[in-house]
Structure 1
Amino acid sequence: MQGAAAHPRTAGSVTPFAPDVHPLVALAVVSAVAAPVALLLSRLGALVLPGWVFVGACALLGASAQSRGQRLLSGPDPHGRLGLRVASAMSLFAVITACSGTTFLLPLAALLVGAPHVDEVGGRAWRPVAASGAVLVVAQHALVLTGVLPSSVPPATSTGIAVLTSAASLLWLMALARVEDRRRALLAELRSAEAWFRALVQDSREVFATIRRDGTISYVSPSGPQEWGVPAEDLLGRPFAQLVHPEDRAEALDRFERCLAGGEGGVRVELRLRARDGEERWFSAALRDQTGNDAIGAVVVHLHDVTERHHRQALLQHEAEHDALTGLLNRAAFTARLEAALRDAPGPEVGVVFCDLDGFKAVNDGLGHAAGDELLIAVAQRLQACAGEGGVVARQGGDEFTVLVPRGAGPQVLDDLARRVRAALVPEVPLAGGHRARVGVSTGTALGGPGTSTDEVLAAADARMYDAKRASRV
């Protein structure tokens, strides 16, 4: 609660008088106003002490109420010497009420002195006000009761009124002090919460944003411009859809509308946002409708960067579907692709070329497994070049490969592809250590379409490949 002690106040008058001016100006102005008042009271017989005393007390009170006068009394600390400042103001009020014979009104002056001081330094100001007021009220009425100080009303009546006004003023002043202390405590809690939230948001990699009903951004946390490489002023008022990847934009707008339509529990979506330098990153977005909240009036969006998770998932997916050595599809992934092609084909136009290397075992045994791996990688690259853009190449295992033509295949297309594969493997393959190797390939083809199973197509291609291999040995 340290923030309450540092309650910001502009230097100014601590009494509810006219605008803050130079003390000498206030002295002259108040004197000019108080002089005719003193003259009028004197003619009415209401002034029981000399008029110059009344005018002087009023002038000093007006001058001391100004900020420079208060700084003169408080010393180096703007809030220091509270007791002296309060006592001087109450003493001047005591002189003014004594001059007019209205000593019973002095307790009300405690309110005029106490209220601005409570507002300035907090609830602790009521104590010096009450203490100085009590001393002056008792002293005044002791003088009134002994006849030393004249009064405009009977002494007993003046004392009774003073007791009642003192009690009322004290209760009001204590209530005002409690309210001010509570206000300061709440303000300190609010500032502490704001500072905590600001520090949390400032240092967080999470992105918080608010989006108006029309889809424009009304607030973005400091991490947003850092993530997106866009100045904050360029983000405010900008349609949020412009930051979303074009392929994800329709879904983002749909989820935004769903949130506005009644997603009380919140709406979630994962999408790609354009980041700095044209990079695209994945974010998990949680949307909550706060348009009915007067303090926010927008949809609150919490964005969490999940790019690394997507990359890990993509890597795991790739590893699950691809051969670790050649980077080609593995047997399971190729079978899934073939199944999808057979299901979606309008007719028997899905083709498969089954390939089995000839002479690979001799290279693998003679030059070692490392050389064999190099050879398989080179073969995979040549097969991909033969398959072209629409073809799908896979390693079935060992030295067996398959090529899928997902649409538009026919006997001639497959025969041409098989011929290109055989021709591609004719040139020698350079290996590490200055070695060179050459392998042949036996191929078999098969066609399929709706109603044909993957096992049937692969078995037919495999059988024709073995027929070709046996024929080459004859």
Structure 2
Amino acid sequence: MRNRAGAVDPVLLALVLGGLLLIPLFLGGFGGGAASWTVQTVLDGLDVWFAWRLARHPDVPAIGRRFWGAVVAACCASAVGDTYQTLLTYAGAGDQVSVVQTGFVVTGMIIVLVATLRHPLGGEGRQRLRLWLDAGTVLTAVAVFLWYFLLADELRGRQAIDRWAAAATAVVMLLIAFGVLKLVLSGTAPFSRAAGVLGSLGVASTALSASVASVLTSGDRPPGVMYLAQLIPCVVMAASFRLQLLQTRPVDPARGRALRQRPSVLPYLAVIAVQLLVVNALRDGGPDLRTWGVAIGAVAITALVLSRQLSAVRDNEQLLTELDRQREWFRALVQNTSDLTVVVRLDGTVEYATPAARRVLGVPAEELVGTSLHDRTHPDDMPTVRRHVAWQAENPGQSTGAQVRWRHADGTYRWLDLISTDLSRNPHVRGVVINARDASEARALHDELQRQATRDALTGLANRVLLQRRIDEAAGAPDRAPVSMLLIDLDGFKAINDRHGHHAGDQVLVIVAERLGGLLGAGEMAARLGGDEFAVLLPGTGPREAAALADRIAAVAAEPMLVNNRWLTVGASVGVASGRPGEGDRLLREADAEMYRRKHDRKAHQTSLR
């Protein structure tokens, strides 16, 4: 209900229908002074209730609750005064408004006026000064029109004091109305734009109707019209309070900033209106009291507008100076940064590139513009790019990182760390901003550390860590194909180390590793476990194929090898174990036991031959 701005709210609908019913009631002569003050008192009670709920609303910030607290006090003062006047009317005191009622109403008006003026308008310095100058300009224009059309001819005679009091009341009410409008336009108002405009309309109508109804009209006007002129604006104000209660929601800072950036046209319209009024006053005849009042008002409003424009010119000069400084600052950063910044469309086409493009990619920035980054990306990195783009589409405005390879002008690919932010919804950018830093050296170091952590330094084969990682990966494979494991221990290797030295032994290990690698197919992996022990992981290989490969490995390893101009030979005991993925530890144990059994059998066979 709240977010629908009261479109079907029964209370708001009742206020509208009630206001419409007042028209035939008073124009038909069915309602008099007592009925008018009774309706006025009921509306005051509704104002107090609505304002009290706003002052305690959880979505209203603290400064807004203070404002609505002041409105509660003002509405209570008006309710007390109108209630007192209602009782007097029923007691037969007539239609004469009492001093008590006037005092309470004026007190309420002053409370609202102070709350409006004390509420922060936003901005600072000359920006706040311009807000006050705008307020003064519009108020001066209102005063000029009141003077010309109502006050100049009427503020004379035996009731001049009463007329001046009514005119002052009207000015105060108009001041409140404009204060409300200024809060709405400044973006810091504790109420919505619709509720503020509606409330301003009600306050302004109350001001004019009070002045017209009390002293600035002739006595032969039907009293029903005067009652309606006083009650309808009060209905409008009550409706504005109810509308604000329906529209109250948590504060949106972005919306407030947008409203503050919107200039007010009210002061300029006020100036135009006063100038036209000056022409009309001079056309009607020679200078008199009314004409002099308009002329003085025109001079005052011109001075206010000139002051406002001078303030704006000074701010514009400072703004231009600041923009020039920021532009030079930005140009210096762009020209001298070592990172490449590009703005690309959603299809990957480059719209802007910084001069660092020549250092990072060997391409001038102007040549990079208009090309596609997808064509420059390494094909193996395109899945990463697509995931990157999909994430940004789901999280617009947020930054994310990736590491991909882009083609350099020399044809090689360079690793780059990318930080990209999708600003395609920003009307000033309309693209994806990418900051790219050359990460080739860091990537090379990373790959080398990764290789050292998972590879045997002597033979280049996988080490035990990488072997275990591959066993775990095989266990998580979706298919349940058989897995075989070979464990290899070299026979006679210790004798070569003792007789020819460790350097010769290292060369033997390297040659054996090369021969192992030559016997393996795709997906199969050889690892050195340490010393002269090797392992071979055979995913998708059954027992028969594994046993055949073990025989070939033993035969190839036993072939003579030339080391330091000497022909050396070693043997190989190979243990075989087969099973299912997920049984890696069992396969290692069984292959190890089979390898030692074969080694024992080989030694026993050699002993029997002797």
Instruction: Determine which of 540, 560, 569 is the counterpart of 1:438.
Output: 569
Query: Which residue does the alignment assign to 2:212?
Result: none
Question: How far, CA to CA, are the matches of 1:396 and 1:425 in structure 2?
Answer: 17
Mapping for residues 49-68 of structure 1, pairs under 5 Å:
none
Counterpart secondary structure, 1:327:
coil
- 417 and 430 in structure 1: CA distance in 2 versus 1, 3 angstrom threshold: same
Query: Which residue does the alignment assign to 1:304?
Result: 437
Question: How far, CA to CA, are the matches of 2:390 and 2:584 in structure 1?
Answer: 44
Instruction: Determine which of 512, 517, 537 is the counterpart of 1:384.
Output: 517
Aligned partners of 1:225 and 1:232 also within 8 Å: yes
Structure 1 window deviating more from structure 2 (386-395 vs 345-354): it is 345-354
Query: Which residue does the alignment assign to 2:243?
Result: none
Identity %: 36
Instruction: Determine which of 374, 386, 390 is the counterpart of 1:241.
Output: 374
Question: How far, CA to CA, are the matches of 1:344 and 1:259 in structure 2?
Answer: 31
Shift of 1:238: 2.6
The CA deviation string for residues 396-435 of structure 1, in whole angstroms up to 9 with x for no partner, is 111111112111x223312221122122123322223x34
Question: How far, CA to CA, are the matches of 2:424 and 2:359 in structure 1?
Answer: 27
Mapping for residues 388-407 of structure 1, pairs under 5 Å:
388-407=521-540
Query: Which residue does the alignment assign to 2:559?
Result: 427
Letter in 2 for 1:378: I
Letter in 2 for 1:388: G
- 384 and 255 in structure 1: CA distance in 2 versus 1, 3 angstrom threshold: closer
Question: How far, CA to CA, are the matches of 2:488 and 2:478 in structure 1?
Answer: 23
Query: Which residue does the alignment assign to 2:495?
Result: 362
- 213 and 411 in structure 1: CA distance in 2 versus 1, 3 angstrom threshold: closer
Is 2:344 aligned against 1:211?
yes
Letter in 2 for 1:430: L
Query: Which residue does the alignment assign to 1:87?
Result: none
Shift of 1:272: 2.4
- 231 and 401 in structure 1: CA distance in 2 versus 1, 3 angstrom threshold: same
Q: In proportion to residue count, which structure has more helix?
A: 2
- 423 and 345 in structure 1: CA distance in 2 versus 1, 3 angstrom threshold: farther
The CA deviation string for residues 65-116 of structure 1, in whole angstroms up to 9 with x for no partner, is xxxxxxxxxxxxxxxxxxxxxxxxxxxxxxxxxxxxxxxxxxxxxxxxxxxx
Counterpart secondary structure, 2:371:
coil
Instruction: Determine which of 560, 579, 600 is the counterpart of 1:448.
Output: 579
Counterpart secondary structure, 2:410:
helix
Structure 1 window deviating more from structure 2 (191-200 vs 387-396): it is 191-200
Query: Which residue does the alignment assign to 1:194?
Result: 327
Query: Which residue does the alignment assign to 2:414?
Result: 281
Counterpart secondary structure, 1:456:
helix
Aligned partners of 1:345 and 1:449 also within 8 Å: no
Shift of 1:184: 6.5
Letter in 2 for 1:446: A
Structure 2: state its 5+ residue gaps: 1-301, 605-610
Letter in 1 for 2:546: L
Question: How far, CA to CA, are the matches of 2:362 and 2:391 in structure 1?
Answer: 29
- 286 and 339 in structure 1: CA distance in 2 versus 1, 3 angstrom threshold: closer
Query: Which residue does the alignment assign to 1:463?
Result: 593
Counterpart secondary structure, 1:325:
coil
Counterpart secondary structure, 2:446:
helix
Query: Which residue does the alignment assign to 1:374?
Result: 507
Shift of 1:357: 0.3
Question: How far, CA to CA, are the matches of 1:456 and 1:437 in structure 2?
Answer: 35
Letter in 1 for 2:342: A
Shift of 1:345: 7.4
- 402 and 292 in structure 1: CA distance in 2 versus 1, 3 angstrom threshold: closer
Counterpart secondary structure, 1:277:
coil
Aligned partners of 1:241 and 1:253 also within 8 Å: no
Is 2:547 aligned against 1:415?
yes
Question: How far, CA to CA, are the matches of 1:254 and 1:401 in structure 2?
Answer: 39
The CA deviation string for residues 181-239 of structure 1, in whole angstroms up to 9 with x for no partner, is 87666555544433333232223220111123454211011112442233434422233
The CA deviation string for residues 364-395 of structure 1, in whole angstroms up to 9 with x for no partner, is 11222222111111111111112234421011
Question: How far, CA to CA, are the matches of 1:188 and 1:350 in structure 2?
Answer: 74
Shift of 1:289: 3.3
Shift of 1:325: 1.3
Question: How far, CA to CA, are the matches of 1:354 and 1:213 in structure 2?
Answer: 53
The CA deviation string for residues 8-28 of structure 1, in whole angstroms up to 9 with x for no partner, is xxxxxxxxxxxxxxxxxxxxx
Letter in 1 for 2:557: L
Query: Which residue does the alignment assign to 1:224?
Result: 357
Aligned partners of 1:386 and 1:424 also within 8 Å: no
Mapping for residues 74-89 of structure 1, pairs under 5 Å:
none
Aligned partners of 2:485 and 2:578 also within 8 Å: yes
The CA deviation string for residues 17-47 of structure 1, in whole angstroms up to 9 with x for no partner, is xxxxxxxxxxxxxxxxxxxxxxxxxxxxxxx
The CA deviation string for residues 320-348 of structure 1, in whole angstroms up to 9 with x for no partner, is 21111111111222122123324437456
Letter in 1 for 2:363: V
Query: Which residue does the alignment assign to 2:147?
Result: none
Aligned partners of 1:264 and 1:289 also within 8 Å: yes
- 348 and 295 in structure 1: CA distance in 2 versus 1, 3 angstrom threshold: closer
Question: How far, CA to CA, are the matches of 2:330 and 2:594 in structure 1?
Answer: 72
Question: How far, CA to CA, are the matches of 2:574 and 2:503 in structure 1?
Answer: 25
Question: How far, CA to CA, are the matches of 1:217 and 1:275 in structure 2?
Answer: 16
Aligned partners of 1:212 and 1:299 also within 8 Å: yes
Letter in 1 for 2:571: G
Counterpart secondary structure, 1:259:
helix
RMSD, matched Cα: 3.2
Query: Which residue does the alignment assign to 1:140?
Result: none
TM-score normalised over the length of structure 2: 0.45
Counterpart secondary structure, 2:435:
strand
Letter in 1 for 2:542: G
Letter in 1 for 2:544: Q
Query: Which residue does the alignment assign to 1:329?
Result: 462
Structure 1 window deviating more from structure 2 (272-281 vs 325-334): it is 272-281
Shift of 1:241: 2.2
Structure 1: state its 5+ residue gaps: 1-167
Aligned partners of 1:208 and 1:303 also within 8 Å: yes
Query: Which residue does the alignment assign to 2:474?
Result: 341
Moved over 6 A (4+): 178-185
Instruction: Determine which of 389, 393, 414 is the counterpart of 1:256.
Output: 389
Question: How far, CA to CA, are the matches of 1:356 and 1:348 in structure 2?
Answer: 27
Shift of 1:360: 0.4
Mapping for residues 89-108 of structure 1, pairs under 5 Å:
none
Letter in 2 for 1:462: D
Aligned partners of 2:481 and 2:539 also within 8 Å: no
Aligned partners of 1:202 and 1:222 also within 8 Å: yes
Shift of 1:440: 0.9
Aligned partners of 2:355 and 2:364 also within 8 Å: no
Query: Which residue does the alignment assign to 2:18?
Result: none
Aligned partners of 2:463 and 2:527 also within 8 Å: yes
Question: How far, CA to CA, are the matches of 2:503 and 2:476 in structure 1?
Answer: 40
